[in-house]
Structure 1
Amino acid sequence: MKSKYVSAMKKSLLAVAVAGAASVVPTTATAEVSANLGIASQYLWRGQTLTSGGVVFGGLDYEHDSGFYAGFWTSSEAEDLGIEYDLYGGYAGEIGDLSFDIGYVSYWYTVDPGENIFQEAYLSLGYMGFGLDAFFGVGDLGWGDGKEKNKDNYYVLSYGYEQFGIAVGYFDTDDSDGQYTHLDLSYEALPGLVFTASQIVDKKDANTDLNDNLTFMVSYEFSF
């Protein structure tokens, strides 16, 4: 399962040779449509547990060989927000060993959709197993009279080696008392079968509603 959304982005990264693209014009253009399904023992989002039980999730991706992509992702439950569905699009590619992905995502929920909706712009960079992901809040949180500007940002530094992964995430909320840092460790026992341990390692004393217990999750995802 994705730590909220990052893995869906990474899965959409395309092996595009950007260097020299200006001088090489392909004679044909191709595109690929793929789908994915998965289950998880819980919904783990940016170091937070959003469900008390398991979830089913899946998505559909369109990828063009130029590097542009678009997709849809949904989950059976997200805390008290009902069913979640995300719409995203962007451009991804590689320059030598450096991979990049830049795009935009909109999060929607079936419970009180006028209040529980927000958007982010994101930038992902990868190099020799290291990853840096940044999500920047844009637009408004919700709509209508109760809307307010989305000033929340989220940053992740990660490293993967064979089946093992480690990630440190920092949630920079507009409310300084809500800021926190979490650490995730993961192990892919089989293709698509991932075990994750997550721990919030730093938070403001005023953020008493944030559960900082050690959290474990097992997920299985496959594409077709």
Structure 2
Amino acid sequence: MKNVFGLKKTVLAASIVAASLAPAIAAAEVSGTLGASSQYLWRGQQLTDGAAVYGSVDYSHTSGLYAGAWASSETDDTEYDLYAGYGGEIEGLSYDISYIDYNYTAGGTAGDNPASGADFQEVHLGVGFAGLSADAFIGVGNSGKGGDEDYESDYFAVGYGYDKYSATVGFYDFEADDSDYTHVDLGYAVTEQFTFTLSKIVDQEEDNTYDDDLVMSVAYEFAL
């Protein structure tokens, strides 16, 4: 998923590219994006063995309601996400609530670094003020195609952005207690479209096998 804190669309940190979904209220009613990154980092995890390309189509209304679709290539798979929500701003305080449906055409991939395990859904709650942001992604619905198992993993992130720089700390609270981890991302926006991100998992459960090396990602995005 794309990463947008507050109400301004930017590519801020590819590792949490789902971090907030509200489009700019002042944007055109229908907009689109195309982008590429050297690798697909998602919430601190490197999910592809090489480059990924992605794009989206979004509709927003001046009332704050919005909806859209986002798709990306992944290792031996393709992800597409559908979302809808409501965002706004009151005296400098931005807010957003949305529903996100994550889908994978192959239902997940095999290998040492699988891009996805199964389809799942989340409810996102986000607030932002004076460069600070806080986001919660609460797992809801069923995991997998046609599955009846509840998805109960949650993700929380706090971030701060100043000028071209950004920092984010994210915590993934998995349903399986022995899979939790915390990551830190540092981002630098060369332009509004071109961003470098350094990402590292800084704490994880003893039995986890997530790659905790320092990883650099680059991303480029532009409106259609």
TM-score, L = length of structure 2: 0.86
Separation (CA, whole Å) in 1 of partners of 2:17 and 2:177: 21
**Matching residue of 1:75:** 72
Structure 2 gap ranges (5+): 1-10, 109-116
Q: Work out the number of aligned pairs and report it.
A: 203
Query: Which residues of 2 match residues 115-194 of structure 1 at below 5 A?
Result: 116-144=118-146, 147-194=148-195
Separation (CA, whole Å) in 2 of partners of 1:195 and 1:101: 26
Structure 1 position 39, deviation (Å) = 0.6
Separation (CA, whole Å) in 1 of partners of 2:38 and 2:218: 6
Structure 1 position 76, deviation (Å) = 1.4
Contact conserved, 2:104 with 2:118, CA < 8 A, in 1?
Answer: yes
Query: Could you tell me which of 66, 72, 95 is aligned with 1:100?
Result: 95
SS at match of 1:76: strand
List 4+ stretches of structure 1 deviating above 6 A: none
Structure 1 position 143, deviation (Å) = 3.9
Separation (CA, whole Å) in 1 of partners of 2:45 and 2:83: 22
Structure 1 position 31, deviation (Å) = 6.5
Query: Could you tell me which of 6, 14, 17 is aligned with 2:25?
Result: 14
Corresponding letter in the other structure for 1:189: V
Contact conserved, 2:39 with 2:217, CA < 8 A, in 1?
Answer: yes
Contact conserved, 1:32 with 1:64, CA < 8 A, in 2?
Answer: yes
**Matching residue of 1:5:** 18
Higher relative contact order (CA 8 A, sep 6+): 2
**Matching residue of 1:214:** 214
Contact conserved, 1:184 with 1:198, CA < 8 A, in 2?
Answer: yes
SS at match of 2:190: strand
Contact conserved, 1:13 with 1:101, CA < 8 A, in 2?
Answer: no
Contact conserved, 2:185 with 2:197, CA < 8 A, in 1?
Answer: yes
Structure 1 position 112, deviation (Å) = 3.0
Contact conserved, 1:181 with 1:203, CA < 8 A, in 2?
Answer: yes
**Matching residue of 1:19:** none
SS at match of 1:83: strand
Q: Deviations over 1:80-115 (max 9, x none)?
A: 5x10000000000000110001010000011037x7
RMSD: 1.7
Q: 1:42 to 1:31 in 2, by over 3 A?
A: closer
Query: Which residues of 2 match residues 11-90 of structure 1 at below 5 A?
Result: 12-14=23-25, 32-77=29-74, 79-80=75-76, 82-90=77-85
SS at match of 1:141: coil
Structure 1 position 13, deviation (Å) = 4.1
Separation (CA, whole Å) in 1 of partners of 2:217 and 2:67: 28
Structure 1 position 4, deviation (Å) = 3.2
SS at match of 2:124: strand
Structure 1 position 140, deviation (Å) = 1.0
Structure 1 gap ranges (5+): 16-29
Corresponding letter in the other structure for 2:188: Y
**Range with greater deviation from structure 2 (210-219 or 146-155):** 146-155
Separation (CA, whole Å) in 2 of partners of 1:125 and 1:217: 26
User: Bigger radius of gyration, 1 or 2?
Assistant: 1
Corresponding letter in the other structure for 1:6: A
Corresponding letter in the other structure for 1:36: T
TM-score, L = length of structure 1: 0.86
